[in-house]
């Protein structure tokens, strides 16, 4: 019996992708070499890179004038690469602080230059998305985090600004339709909806690069990576290959619009149970609830051991909440089947039948 995997990341990926990837580890494309040992300069891997980049552009409908990069270092390295590439020595960047990762992104920028938190939801332990703030037009860029895995919040409407728009979409990219043209730079660690840890996706508008007066170390320079077609140094071959397979899987399902509907259905199923079951309560503000990460608490902590035993017995994995929030977190990324959500809902219903 397969696990119902609610891990926040690295997380659930499609079973078919695992099968293809495992075969490629032994013999990639019938060449009697493993995907783990082929040269990143080989014709076979260049075809993988080209296809992965093309699929990103196709699936997300990336407009002309953007580069798609597969880099390393996770979103955490992007926290530093963004200000290096976009913030002038005497410039300024503003950040929307909606959680732990947004705060870390701001700290990296503040260590390099003049950065400011323009709005924050820290006053309520990040259980909502700030609104009504004004973004100055004279800043080098505005940075936000689209989905907050720890706190279960998600930006539904992005602000309009004349400044460069930068977004960390690590935990909800490919989960819903996004107008890429509204952003100048998007980055995302692969290990949520795209592939295994190791690769970092960057989508950047070409015209914004090379404009800073800052000296950028080569490995941190987006322009160098773009000119090298993500091959400035040895790329994370296996992670990019699995990401390509996952994008093929997503395209085969019908693309982003189909996936968005599936994710909305899964989220509605679980949120409806949380809201109707007297033994549970959500932690995020209703209007800002994430489709990807559902955070909730027991209303009676005395039932914790019993509930934990029940979901474990149902073969459910990875729903313990982050230590900064407590309770439970159900991460429902693209590859999590609705049947897995139903399994959790059934356990919640069973607990209520005993005690409510």
State the first-to-last Cα distance of the chain, in angstroms, to the nearest integer.
30
* Pairing mode, strands 66-71 and 200-205: antiparallel
Q: Is the dihedral of CA 291, 82, 185, 119 positive or negative?
A: positive
213 Cβ neighbours under 8 A, 6+ residues apart: 88, 89
Contact 277, 299 (CB under 8 A): no
Q: How many residues are there in the chain? A: 356
Question: Which residues are bridge partners to 144 per DSSP?
Answer: 167
Per the annotation, the verdict on 168 as an active-site residue is: yes
Q: Is the dihedral of CA 336, 199, 73, 22 positive or negative?
A: positive
Q: Which two tokens stand for residue 87?
A: 């913030």
Per the annotation, the verdict on 192 as an active-site residue is: yes
> What is the DSSP secondary structure assignment for residue 143, as one 8-state letter?
E
Judged by DSSP in three states, 302 sits in: helix
Residue tagged active-site, from 140, 168, 172, 288: 168
- C-alpha–C-alpha distance, residues 209 and 190, integer Å: 23
Residue tagged active-site, from 176, 192, 205, 266: 192
Q: Which residue has the tokens 């994710």?
A: 263
Instruction: Report CA 219 to chain centroid distance, whole Å.
Output: 23
> What is the DSSP secondary structure assignment for residue 320, as one 8-state letter?
B
Peptide bond into 10 cis (omega under 30): yes
Judged by DSSP in three states, 231 sits in: coil
Q: Which two tokens stand for residue 114?
A: 């003049």
> Following DSSP, what letter does each residue of 15-56 receive, concatenated?
HHHHHHHHHHHH-GGGSSS-TTTS-TTSHHHHHHHHHHHHHH
Provide the annotated active-site residues. Answer: 101, 168, 192
């Amino acid at each position: 019996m397969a696990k119902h995997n609610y891990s926040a990341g690295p997380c659930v990926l499609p079973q078919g992708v695992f099968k293809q990837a495992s075969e490629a580890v032994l013999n990639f494309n019938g060449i009697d070499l493993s995907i783990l040992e082929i040269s990143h300069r080989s014709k076979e891997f260049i075809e993988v890179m080209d296809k992965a980049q093309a699929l990103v552009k196709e699936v997300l409908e990336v407009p002309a004038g953007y580069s798609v990069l597969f880099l390393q270092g996770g979103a955490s390295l992007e926290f530093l690469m963004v200000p290096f590439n976009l913030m002038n020595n005497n410039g300024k960047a503003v950040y929307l602080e909606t959680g732990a990762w947004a705060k870390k992104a701001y700290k990296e920028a503040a260590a390099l230059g003049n950065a400011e938190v323009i709005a924050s939801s820290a006053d309520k332990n990040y259980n909502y998305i700030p609104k009504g703030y004004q973004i100055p037009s004279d800043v080098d860029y505005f940075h936000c985090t689209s989905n907050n895995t720890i706190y279960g919040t998600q930006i539904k409407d992005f602000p309009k600004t004349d400044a460069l728009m930068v977004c960390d979409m690590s935990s909800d990219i490919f989960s819903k339709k996004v107008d890429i043209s509204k952003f100048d730079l998007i980055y995302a660690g692969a290990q949520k909806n795209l592939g295994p840890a190791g690769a970092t996706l960057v989508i950047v508008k070409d015209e914004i690069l090379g404009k800073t007066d800052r000296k950028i170390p080569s490995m941190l320079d987006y322009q160098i990576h773009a000119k090298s077609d993500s091959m400035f140094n040895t790329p994370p071959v296996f992670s990019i290959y699995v990401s390509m397979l996952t994008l093929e899987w997503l395209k085969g399902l019908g693309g982003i619009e189909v996936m968005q509907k599936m994710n909305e259905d899964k989220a509605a199923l679980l949120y409806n149970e949380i809201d109707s079951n007297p033994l549970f309560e959500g932690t995020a503000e209703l209007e800002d609830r994430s489709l990807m990460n559902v955070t909730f608490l027991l209303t009676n902590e005395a039932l914790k051991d019993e509930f934990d035993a029940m979901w474990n017995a149902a073969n459910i994995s990875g729903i313990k909440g982050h230590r900064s929030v407590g309770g439970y977190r159900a991460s429902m990324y693209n590859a999590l089947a609705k049947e897995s959500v139903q399994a959790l809902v059934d356990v919640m219903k069973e607990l209520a039948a005993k005690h409510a």
